[in-house]
Structure 1
Amino acid sequence: PKTLLSHLDIKHTSHKKLAPFLKGFEKDGILKLKDVRGELLIFSVDTKHPALVEAIKWGWKTVGAEERKEKEREKEGTADGSTKEILVEEVWFSDANTDGFFEACGESAPHYPLSSLRPLLNKYVTGHNLQHPTNPKFVVLDEVLSRALLRKGENEKEFVGRDELVDRLSGNMKGMWRVGGTGNFKKLPLHPVNVQTKTRQGRKVVTLITGFEPFGIDPETLSEELRKRCASSTSVSPCVEKPKQLEVMVQGSQIKAVTTLLLELGLPKKWIKVSESSVKGKGAGKTLNLNLTTADDVRLGAWFVAADSFYQKHLRLAPPFKGDSANLKEKRETLASLLPTALQDHPTILFFHGNAMTRAFHLRTRLYSTLSSRLNANVLAIDYRGFGNSEGVPSEQGLLLDARAAWDWLIENGAKEADITVVGQSLGT
């Protein structure tokens, strides 16, 4: 209709449901649809269709225009300082074993951020000539370092790896956290706000937010704002797993809306953990959860999805027949043990996602399933540093190292270069 409406409710139209609504557009030649395992997917849109061209003239908004406006709002918010980021401090207090080290360094601060420990260690090692004489990856221990770095039962150690220094020193200190810059410090760990989707009552998807209390985020404010933004019902209730905590629930898969709101409320991106447990197309044993390590020692989260025919042949567990061993499941091989075979028998798609969301975004998991079944290919999907459950901070150079780590992992586990196809989306290109 040539009218500008704030919203349309399909239930209150003659279509009643989304499928007939979309099929009407397909009949008009605007959309191309495909039914994939009972899910109706939109494969293409004719952006030059007269109906869409006409709609733009009547002031209807496009997704691209909305995204551009959103970016402009973010820039304005950063420029005028309207979004004040919540100050989250993680610091380490010296203990009896480490006091001597800080005194030797001429330091007397009440506490230290983790980033300050490595420069102090490097300065001490260089100043006291403690580099290993034949292997620069190791450091010789003097009396001060032995007391500061060694754990119980390690008194006989004469040297340790240079890459262990910070972990060992901080491990012998008291890790504490504080939010807001005032008040008393509390003992680490401080867990991030958890945003996850779950399937309830069959195919009903909800988004749950927990762990926001330490950051001073009001659950009622969060719930009310999400109700307006998502046009969905919300609620606040005790968390099932941890009754002392509260849980905000919003109907539907609303990961992007929730993360955007949390960022607007000042929560640093580092303290938002996103996970989607309502993933389809991941049969039991078909997907391998991985941790890859980059050349600069950053750990990345990743998934390896086996080609569908490989899964059906080697990994799928059919119901046991009468007389079969009760331990049949235990005797079947796992994807981890058959990984080289999967890489040698099938091509592999190395997938690099876009700037928004993570590898667990529901549209991406559907894509992995489609690629593994339609193309009969394995899929390796990673989260860049700073995304999802990957460590580190995003950067252009870091992105290249992350991509290289994924490629090297495939080659090291038996894939041939000619069998790997790199697929990038937006940032991933």
Structure 2
Amino acid sequence: MFKHKAQIKPYSNLKSSARRQLLQSICVYYSLDESQLLPETKHELLPKEIRHARAMLHTTNQKIIIYSDEDLKPLWFKFESSGILIPTMLTLWRCPYLAKGRIIYTPLHVLEIIQGGADLMIPGCFAPYPDLHKGDVVVYCSIPEQIPIGVGLVLVSETKSLERSMKGKAAQTVHTLGDTLVSAYKNELAITPELAFDYSLPYGAQAEDLTTKVAELSTEDQEQAEESEQNQQNGEENFEKKQPEEQSAGDELDQEQVQEQTEIQESTEDAESDGEGEKLSTAEVDEVFKTALLQTVFKSIDDGAIIQTPISASQLLGSHVLVNLPLTPLQQQHLQLSIKKTSWKKATKFFKAMEKEGLLKTKDHKDDLMIVSLAGLEHPLLQKYEPYEVVKKKKTGPSQPTTPKSDGQLVAIELWKPHSAAVPFFNVCAAKAPEKFSGGLYYDTDGLKIRLVWYINQQKLVNPKDKKTIIADDILVGAFGLPKQAALNDALRVVGRDKIVTMLQKQCTPFHIIYDPKDPVLQQFKDAKGALAAEDVARALKPAKGGVPHIVVATERRGGNKTVTTVTGLEAFGIDAVDFAEELRKACAGSTSVNNVKQGANEIKSVLVQGPQVKAVETSLQKRGVRPTWITVNDKVGGGKKGKK
């Protein structure tokens, strides 16, 4: 519909009250829980400085309303006839979670066709299909890139019927990537190989009633105060322009505005004082702890944070439930939350009550209560559960790292490359959950664990007779390297859950990468927090075969009582042997040399320095980013003893 430029009338500012109504409409239509959205997320969806203008479409002569930010970048639009708010591609790329449950997949080359004004045809649609009905907003996503490329309105009675249809139109295209509505912002909407979208919901808290009671002032109250203050100023300006005979009426109006502003300020002050002193009720504290337990159980099932059972009630509460409370550390400190603030008062009574709801099973053991098992995804409360992001408590004191910190410290990751028998398992994970798992050749241990937990839960492979074991299906039989007889003997398919990661690793070849986090090649793969995923590092840098190697520092006697120190294995850490020998010569004030030595079928460099210089060598290596755990010391001088660090 935006093949040709729309005729847009002048923009005007949108009142904050209208903006709030607009935001509420967006949250309702796109199934967002407004109470769980962070302020920055709300601003991303709909900035405070929002403007709107009416426009006319040349192709259909339809009237629309366009909503833009202060730079006049179009963010939303709607047809005056329907009133449904439709996101522009700028908004969809910033907030891809709007597409959740509204995606129809189509090849990327279809973009050129729909840009010309064509509707999306049924033969160009691919499963899985969303559950939508005629007139609903639908998002076109490319496969396999998972990139939003267009927006349309459903034309069929229900999208589930696309599985049985072979021809006809699936959706009316209303906006596409690169059309005239967003053509001025090509740089922001450029498709690149590294482009990726996160379609998960951006919730920062579990429920509004658990967080607003400790907030000092809501954003809505601030906006009301600002709007009222602006109205007051406008009233004062108009009052000065009134003729003397009209001043009495204007004076009354102005007094009403001042009174309204005073009431808002008083309510704001009351909200501030209440936010500091008000406590959660016992029922609300109960809900907080129950929510934290749900989060704990869900993460154990779906996110790979496996909790080994049986586990004591005190350990489950202290190590897992308390760290998953849906409140910020500051709010927890202010409310001084503990199990004693609940109606149960004790951990044992809390878990007994949760057992009645089917979230876990307990067993009395001596003087303690043991949790013997946790619920699975088949539990009603967990089937549609949406996890929230837990805000971790910041450390106030100095940290105690296990390895010395240094600028440019190297990082080593261990990777696993699946054998041919295990490859189908990884392919199935990537095909069934492309938004969760990406395809690749190498995976770290956490990647193996998360995929296994997800796959086992999706296929419901947990042994109902013994939840500590699973019953492997044909895919896992190959991935675990189980005997061929397992195809006919179900008893051979039973595998302990504590062994699944190790069994999968045995069907993979170990690789490793040693890298500098400041490497310019890796900067494009860092997330918002500057972290790097192991699988992204494996795409950027070539892994080396085998486990993480060690640098061997050895002392030995030569020529009678003469002691020398040798260093081998520098190549794997990118350290030039000649440069390192020169550095040791200055640091140890002794002669050094570089020699070629045989190590199996390969020839490597060995640095030799005069004297027992183990500490000097370790110091120089650590300055180059080598961690102490990667250094092995062989002392052949002290009575033939050998040590390893």
Common topology (TM > 0.5)? no
With structure 1 as the length reference, what TM-score do the two structures score?
0.42
TM-score by length of 2: 0.29
| Higher RCO (Cα < 8 Å, 6 or more apart) | 1
Larger Rg: 2
